[in-house]
Amino acid sequence: MTSQLFVIYHSGYGHTRRQAEAVYQGAASVEGIEAELITAEEAIARLDDLDHADAMIFGSPTYMGSMSAGMKQFVEAAAKKWFSLAWKDKVAGAFTNSSSFSGDKLNTLVGLMINAMQHGMIYVGTAMLPAASNPDAMNSVEGPGPDVTNRVGSFVGAMATSFQVDPPGAPPQGDLATAEAYGKRVAEITLQFVRGRG
């Protein structure tokens, strides 16, 4: 039996879409997971389909220090699932992309995590050390470059930093690898959780 995992994202200009594709690839690479990548707009039209999911990973760009209006529309539409706790005990995760290293991205992840918690979902962090793919890169004040995983050291969810570079030049390879590893982790945790419950 397979477990269904949805990656649900909004992207105004395509950067977060690239990050979402990487999260999806990571999740889909896990045997036993059937992953789907859908926009927030599509998710609003498919709220009842999401009742059958085992996991959802939410992604949004950071706009003015919080999730985008496009993602918030999905979050508010999905509030109708809260009344019956229809999404209770589904596994959840979150990711965000923005221009600056910080840009207050954490606030976006916290908003997406709180949404998951309000639904009674089981939220999964990155469990990834800073500059995980090259810890030696931490021994300089310049810090790690764009090729390492988790270069900004985020634990609550996956972060990507695109500065003012248009896709496909951004997000950089390391941030996409971070997103892929995170999607894989949430998928693996989902399988453990679902099989444990069975």
Ligand X SMILES: Cc1cc2nc3c(=O)[nH]c(=O)nc-3n(C[C@H](O)[C@H](O)[C@H](O)COP(=O)(O)O)c2cc1C
The answer to whether 98 contacts ligand X (rule: CB under 6 A) is yes
What count of other Cβ atoms lies within 10 Å of the Cβ of residue 189? 17
| Contact between 97 and 161 (Cβ < 8 Å) | yes
The answer to whether 39 contacts ligand X (rule: CB under 6 A) is no
The answer to whether 61 contacts ligand X (rule: CB under 6 A) is yes
Among 39, 115, 150, 162, binds ligand X (CB under 6 A): 162
Q: How far apart are CA 115 and CA 160, in angstroms?
A: 21
The answer to whether 104 contacts ligand X (rule: CB under 6 A) is yes
HSE (CB half, 13 Å, CA atoms) of 174? Answer: 19
Query: Which CB, 89 or 104, lies closer to ligand X?
Result: 104
The nearest distance, CB 13 to ligand X, in angstroms, is 3
Helix spans in the chain (H): 15-28, 40-45, 47-50, 69-77, 105-118, 173-197
Among 2, 13, 29, 88, binds ligand X (CB under 6 A): 13
The nearest distance, CB 84 to ligand X, in angstroms, is 32
The nearest distance, CB 120 to ligand X, in angstroms, is 28
The answer to whether 168 contacts ligand X (rule: CB under 6 A) is no
The answer to whether 64 contacts ligand X (rule: CB under 6 A) is yes
Contacts of 90 (CB under 8 A, 6+ apart): 53, 54, 55, 56, 119, 121, 122
The answer to whether 127 contacts ligand X (rule: CB under 6 A) is no
Residue pointed to by tokens 């926009």: 39
Among 4, 16, 39, 154, binds ligand X (CB under 6 A): 16
What Å distances lie between residue 35 and 28, 74, 80, 96, 135, CA to CA? Answer: 5, 19, 24, 19, 31
| Contact between 178 and 128 (Cβ < 8 Å) | yes
Binding residues for ligand X, rule CB under 6 A, total 18
Among 3, 39, 97, 190, binds ligand X (CB under 6 A): 97
Query: Which CB, 54 or 175, lies closer to ligand X?
Result: 175
Where does this chain bind ligand X (CB under 6 A)? 11-16, 61-65, 97-100, 103-104, 162
